[in-house]
Amino acid sequence: MPQLNTSTWLLTILSMIFTLFALLQLKISKHFYLPSPKPTLTKLQKQQTPWNHTWTKIYLPLSQSQ
């Protein structure tokens, strides 16, 4: 049975890794990234609720004696 020649495997694997890296870099460099959105200042609208302008009394629970 003939012996498998593995002397060129290192060169083949390294050139394959380099080629894949170069192709990946080219693909990423052509990708268009959207600019990050800028925050916009929004005016806070104060909601009118009944308890904002009326005083409410807080009662103690019935189980507590005064």
Instruction: Indicate the pTM of the whole model.
Output: 0.45
Give dist(CA 44, CA 47) in Å, integer: 9
Alpha-carbon distances of 25 from 1, 18, 20, rounded to whole Å: 43, 11, 9
Question: Tokens in use for 24?
Answer: 């990946």
Give dist(CA 23, CA 11) in Å, integer: 18
Cα torsion 9, 12, 14, 20: sign: negative
Q: How many CA atoms lie within 13 A of 16 on its CB side?
A: 6
In tens, the pLDDT along 9-45 reads 999 999 999 999 999 999 999 888 888 888 877 777 7
Q: Which has more confidence, 34 or 48?
A: 34
User: What pLDDT is attached to residue 23?
Assistant: 96
The domain locations on the chain are 1-32
User: What pLDDT is attached to residue 13?
Assistant: 95
